[in-house]
Amino acid sequence: MGKKWRAWTILLFVGLGLVGWAASRQLGREPLVYDDEQKGLEKQIIIYFSHVVAENTPKGLAAQKFAELVEQKTNGRVKVEVFPNGSLYSDGEELDALLRGDVQMIAPSFSKVTELVPEWQVLDLPFLFRDEDDVRRVFTGKVGAELLRMLEAKGMKGLAFWSNGFKQMMSTTRPLIAPDDFRGLRFRIMPSEVIEKQFRLLGGEPIAVSFDRVYQELEQHKFDGQENTISNIYSKGFYKFQPYITISNHGYLGYAVMMNQSFWDHLPKDIQQKITEAMAEATQWNLQESKAQNERELNELRQREDVHLYELSEREKWEWERKFAPLYEEFAKRFGARLLEEIRESEK
Ligand code: LMR
């Protein structure tokens, strides 16, 4: 080996040694622990995350999980403050609050996005998804990406789709089995044209009520029925007023987890990266937890003598589907059939 090569080799080994020494010092170190005083508040990024459901629900728990992951991954540089139960904004207010930048993050149900992005009505169509696998295939594919782009055009950075599983029907006075059972009853709905028409097709009277008022209005007998997921029915105790629950799995209740676009755009790239990683983990966790929690709480409800559960047969579901067919025709007429076709294609 010539002199020149020897010198290069020595230099290389010295360099590698130095890198190894620095890495071992870093690994051996305790993670940096910050508290607000140490860090200097001006360096900390605070994200207000507002939502309307209870803390012990798939959304409430995933929001908490996300906050923990972000704090860990950014070593305390970013702090996500979660406000559950509509304690900051009700569901009718949270989209505007996000757009104004009064909060940085929300996770409204799809129905509540439809006022701003009407194409999202497609997700409210009853029996659009057969099961969670259909949902996953649609949201991880081309359609999911397209739906998120629609949010971006309105100033909202879509980060993920979270799940709360499938909606069930419930009523105060009688089981809801055949389409005719809905006739003449008043139903609490989320603000959504498709859901409104769904109940009109069944002969019911839909009334839009924001989630934080449902319990109170139930006490005041302002409506006779509603649709929701088991975890919402259970965590808010709706079954105490409306004990007839039909397991119909007719509609899907998912959430668009999003940030104010301009807030997102101004975050440093490395922080965006950490938030994206934390969101991917929290989303995986939410998908599993939402399934497990809805199953667990359905079993709890099964044990109760004051709750009357009825599972819709395939034949009965088919009767409902026939009733709902005009909703699909209307959607296609208004927005074109493409989105629907793409969803059907991804579900294959
Ligand atoms: C509802 O209004 O019933 C739901 O959208 C509440 C929620 O966020 O799960």
Distance 199 CA to ligand 1 centre (A): 17
Contact 195 CB / ligand 1 (< 6 Å):
no
Distance 75 CA to ligand 1 centre (A): 33
Q: What is the DSSP string of 248-286?
A: EEEEEEEEEEEEEHHHHHTS-HHHHHHHHHHHHHHHHHH
Query: Which CATH superfamily includes the segment(s) 38-346?
Result: Bacterial extracellular solute-binding protein, family 7 (3.40.190.170)
* Distance, CA of 319 to CA of 313 (rounded, Å): 10
Distance 104 CA to ligand 1 centre (A): 19
Distance 211 CA to ligand 1 centre (A): 6
So what's the pLDDT on residue 28? 37
* Distance, CA of 230 to CA of 223 (rounded, Å): 19
Specify whether the CB–CB gap between 184 and 177 falls below 8 A. no
Distance 270 CA to ligand 1 centre (A): 33
Mutual orientation of helices 142-152 and 132-140 as an angle, nearest 10°? 60
Contacts of 284 (CB under 8 A, 6+ apart): none
* Distance, CA of 96 to CA of 256 (rounded, Å): 15
So what's the pLDDT on residue 144? 96
Contact 170 CB / ligand 1 (< 6 Å):
no
Distance 53 CA to ligand 1 centre (A): 7
Nearest atom (ligand 1) to Cα of 91 = 2
Neighbours of 197 (CB within 10 A): 18
Contact 228 CB / ligand 1 (< 6 Å):
yes
Specify whether the CB–CB gap between 129 and 251 falls below 8 A. no
Taking only the tens of pLDDT, the chain with its 348 residues reads 455 666 565 555 555 544 444 444 333 333 334 444 444 556 899 999 999 999 999 999 999 999 999 999 999 999 999 999 999 999 999 999 999 999 999 999 999 999 999 999 999 999 999 999 999 999 999 999 999 999 999 999 999 999 999 999 999 999 999 999 999 999 999 999 999 999 999 999 999 999 999 999 999 999 999 999 999 999 999 999 999 999 999 999 999 999 999 999 999 999 999 999 999 999 999 999 999 999 999 999 999 999 999 999 999 999 999 999 999 999 999 999 999 999 999 988
Nearest atom (ligand 1) to Cα of 210 = 2
Specify whether the CB–CB gap between 172 and 234 falls below 8 A. no
Contact 294 CB / ligand 1 (< 6 Å):
no
So what's the pLDDT on residue 4? 60
So what's the pLDDT on residue 43? 83
Q: What pTM, to 2 d.p., does this model score? A: 0.87
Contact 190 CB / ligand 1 (< 6 Å):
yes
Distance 306 CA to ligand 1 centre (A): 24
What is the torsional sign of CA 122, 125, 128, 133? positive
So what's the pLDDT on residue 348? 83
So what's the pLDDT on residue 141? 92
* Distance, CA of 55 to CA of 42 (rounded, Å): 29
Neighbours of 332 (CB within 10 A): 15
Distance 205 CA to ligand 1 centre (A): 19
The domain spans of the chain are 38-346
Specify whether the CB–CB gap between 308 and 175 falls below 8 A. yes
Contact 109 CB / ligand 1 (< 6 Å):
yes
Contact 52 CB / ligand 1 (< 6 Å):
yes
So what's the pLDDT on residue 25? 38
So what's the pLDDT on residue 3? 57
Nearest atom (ligand 1) to Cα of 109 = 5
